[in-house]
Each structure stands twice: as C-alpha cells, then as structure tokens.
Amino acid sequence: MHSSDELTKQVQRVYRATENSWNGCDWPTNFGTRGLNLGGLKSKQTRLLKEATSGAESQAWDEATIWLEQVEADARRARSAASVAVELIEQQDLAMALVRITEACELESQYHQNLAWGPLRDLISYRSHDGRMYRCLLPTSRNDLGA
C-alpha cells in the first residue's frame, strides 16, 4: 500500500522529468503550400524569417508563425494543467488531478500521439482506481464538477 506522500513524490518526479519536454513543434512538418518543415523551430524564429523575406514567402512564414504560436500556447496550457494536477495531488484531490492532467493530454494530442504528459496521466489514472489509497474517483458528469 502506497502512502499519499509516496504518490506525491512519484508525481512530482514524473512532472519534473516531463515539464520541459514539450514546448512547441518538435516533429517534422510539411506546413502550408510551401511544405515548410517547422520541426524544432520557434515562432520567434519564423517571425524573423517573415520579416527577412517578401511576397508569398513572407506570407508563408507569417502563417507558420501564427500556427507555431498556437502550438506553443497549447504547450504552455498543457504544462499549466499538469502543474495544477501536481498541486491537486499534494492536496490529495486525486479526482480533480486526473481531470487536469487529462486536459493536458487532450491539448497535446491535437499535435502528436506520443504524449509527453501521458506517463503522468497514466500514473494518476492508475492510482485513482486504487481504492485503498483514495476514495474519490473521477466525477461521472460535468454536473459533478460543479459545471
């Protein structure tokens, strides 16, 4: 039987190992009509390329910048949701922690299948079904969340 302190330490360890692993587009792309590979590029870099070019090429980099800004914003939101999940684990609110880490995974899953936040979600999910440790399980509807 695991104590809540052990779970908190496990969750914190997994979070620290993951928190900087997804920050933006970290996969090859074939973006737009020019087939731009944005993998590894940041929106700041593509903004500079937009400013350094003109015409259709500048427009392509502008579109890439807008898309990368969205990916980066989603990565930040996912990291924030995961951070809240850790705080909720520390408060022993496993059900809401699972809701928040699931939100992080849903944001990330829009972009790729190998989820950086997946191991943390799996750990919290596995433990949420361990009735020996916590009695609270995921709410069955949005009404249970107070929505």
pLDDT of residue 47: 98
pLDDT of residue 35: 95
pLDDT of residue 2: 53
pLDDT tens over the chain, length 147 residues? 457 889 999 999 999 999 999 999 999 999 999 999 999 999 999 999 999 999 999 999 999 999 999 999 999 999 999 999 999 999 999 999 999 999 999 999 999 889 999 999 999 998 887 644 433 333 343 333 333
SS3 labels along 105-131: HHHHHCCCCCCCCHHHHHHHHHHHCCC
pLDDT of residue 38: 97
Give yes or no for a contact between 109 and 81, defined as CB atoms under 8 angstroms apart: no
pLDDT of residue 79: 97
Distance set, CA 85 to CA 53, 78, 140 (Å): 43, 10, 18
Q: How far apart are CA 126 and CA 22, in angstroms?
A: 23
Domain range list for the chain: 4-40+72-145
pLDDT 10s digits, 11-38: 999 999 999 999 999 999 999 999 999 9
If phi > 0 it is left, if psi is from -120 to 50 it is alpha, else beta; for residue 42 that is: beta
Query: What are the start-end ranges of the H helices in the chain?
Result: 4-18, 43-52, 55-90, 94-109, 118-128
Q: How far apart are CA 93 and CA 71, in angstroms?
A: 29
